[in-house]
Structure 1
Amino acid sequence: MAEVVRNIALAVADGQAALDRRTAEVQRELEAAAAAGELPYAIDAPWYRFSEVDVDVELAVSVDAEVERDAGGTVRGYRPYVKATPLDAGATRTTDVDAELASTLSMRLVPVPPERRVVGRGGSDE
């Protein structure tokens, strides 16, 4: 489950990075056009950001166990674990998930502003 959440967050971050790269590219083009006299005045490219992302994912969930052996190779027990994969026909065909259960993962990703620090005139934190 953690891997699904991490992959979704990384996909959103990749999307934001692509937006930022495109804006930087447009800004360079605008500055070049202003320097060449093609624009009556310099303008700034708009910066876009995801204000929040709502995610709803249907997951196929199954429980499996990993064999635990001692130093001599004797089976001493089984360690259960949960496997989750997005629920669609392609995922269930290509992965080893026997969909015993289905679940919905809902989450909201929001940007967190950086921590602000106030530095006094003497250079120390106040």
Structure 2
Amino acid sequence: MANDGEEIGEVLITPLSRLLGEVGRSIAETQRALDLNSIKTQIEIEEEKALSEYDIQAAWYHIPEVDLELKMSLTVKLEEERDSKNQIRGYRPVLNASPLNASYNSLYSYDVQGSSCIKAKIVSIPASSKVREG
């Protein structure tokens, strides 16, 4: 049986790029759900005879930007880079992030005062004209 501490560590520790990518995808999925709800509502308004007689428009919601502030433990791990003959070419540094929560703090006896703070801003921008034309 695997050590529970090792399993917790495997789940909590992730490359920072993956963590930020997941946050971005979650925001995009939320915006898409909001948009689909507005479209569905507008169709229902147009199909309902009593409502379609009035100039009623569905409300649209937009997530203009998201500010993130993550308190994390950051570590660098070296991953092997191999060539086509499976020979080690070198090592690539990967920045791993671990959220600071009770599980991580107690498992690794981590001192929260040594944590890093990552600030990121995700801002929506209009699509380029080339995308809109297609």
User: Partners of 1:62 and 1:17 in 2: how far apart?
Assistant: 34
Aligned CA-pair RMSD: 3.6
1:9 matched to 2:24: yes
1:88 matches 2:97 = no
Pair 1:82–1:40, CA change in 2 (3 A): closer
Q: How many residues align?
A: 108
Aligned to 1:124: none
Q: Structure 2 stretches of 5 or more lacking a match?
A: 1-15
Contact kept in structure 2, 1:62 and 1:99, CA below 8 Å: no
Which of 125, 128, 131 is 1:112 aligned to? Answer: 125
Pairwise mapping of residues 15-54 of structure 1 onto structure 2 (< 5 A)? Answer: 15-33=30-48, 36-38=49-51, 40-54=53-67
Q: Percent identity?
A: 29
TM-score (norm 1): 0.65
| Structure with higher helix content | 2
- Inter-partner Cα distance in structure 2 for 1:53 and 1:6: 14
TM-score (norm 2): 0.61
Aligned to 2:12: none
Q: Quick one: higher RCO (CA 8 Å, sep 6+), 1 or 2?
A: 2
Matches of 1:98 and 1:64 in 2, distance apart?
20
- 1:44, CA displacement in angstroms? 1.4
Q: Quick one: distance in 2 between partners of 1:107 and 1:22?
A: 28
